[in-house]
Amino acid sequence: MRVLVTEDDDDIRFAVETSLRGAGFAVDVATDLPAADEALFVNTYDCVVFDRVLPSGDALDYVKQRRMAGWGAAVLFLTGIDNPVEGLPYGDDYLVKPFAMPELIARVRSLCRLTAVAPPPVLRHAGLELDPGRRTATRGGRPVSLTVKEFTVLERLVLAGGQAVRRDDLIAAAWDAEVRPSSNVLDVVITALRQKLGPPAVVLTVRGVGYRCG
C-alpha cells in the first residue's frame, strides 16, 4: 500500500513517514501543495495524508478541487483547528494534533482498505498459493515465509498471469519514490524469492524488460 504524506513540519513529517514505513507502507513525502500535486500526477496512492493548513494554502481547498475533478483517493487530514469535521465531505477521516502514531497507522490502513480492489481469495500458479488477505504463501503445500516486499513482488508477478512485468513497475508496487529503478533492491528480493520457493523456478528473467512467472 502506497501513501503520500504532505506536512511542512519537519519533525511531524519525519515521525509520520518513519512510523508508516515501519508498519509496511511505501511512503512518499511532500512539504507543500505544489510538491503534493506533482507526486499525485506521477503516482497512484491508496491514501494521502494532508496537514490541513500548509504555507502554500489550505489542503481542504486543494482536495475540494480534486474531488470535483473526479479524484477518488482516500484522504486523511491532520488538523489542529477547532472544527475539523468541516473537511469530512471532501476527506475521509481526520486526526487532531497531537495524535498517537499507532492510531495514525490504524486510520491509514483502514482508509487504504476502502479504496483497494479486493484481490482473489487465493492466487494460484505452478503449485504456488498466495493468500493476499492473510499474506501467507505455500509452494506444493509447504509454507513459505516471505517478507512484505517479497510477498508484494511475487503477488504482482502472479497477478500478471505469466506476462512480463517491468522492473520499475515492480519497484513502484513495493517501494516508495526514494528507491530508484536502477537500484539493486529488486534483484535482492528476486534472489531471495527464488531461494525460498525452490525448484522448478517460478520467477523467470525477461531480459531487457523485467520478470514473469513461469
| Phi, psi of 57, rounded to the nearest 5 degrees | 140, 180
Burial (0-12, 13-18, 19+ Cβ within 10 Å), 45: buried
User: What are the structural domains of the chain?
Assistant: 2-115 (3.40.50.2300), 123-213 (1.10.10.10)
Within 13 A of 18's CA, how many CA atoms are on the CB side? Answer: 6
Q: How large is the C-alpha radius of gyration of the chain?
A: 19
Instruction: Provide the pLDDT for residue 173.
Output: 81
How do the pLDDT tens digits run along the chain, 214 residues long? 889 999 999 999 999 999 999 988 989 999 999 999 999 888 888 899 999 888 888 888 898 888 777 777 889 988 876 655 555 666 778 888 889 999 999 999 888 877 665 556 788 888 899 988 777 899 998 999 888 888 889 999 998 888 899 988 888 888 766 656 567 888 899 999 999 999 998 999 999 889 999 8
Spatial neighbors of 2 by CB under 8 A, at least 6 apart, are: 25, 26, 27, 28, 43, 44, 45, 46, 172, 176
166 membership: H or E segment, kind and range: strand 165-166
Report pTM: 0.59
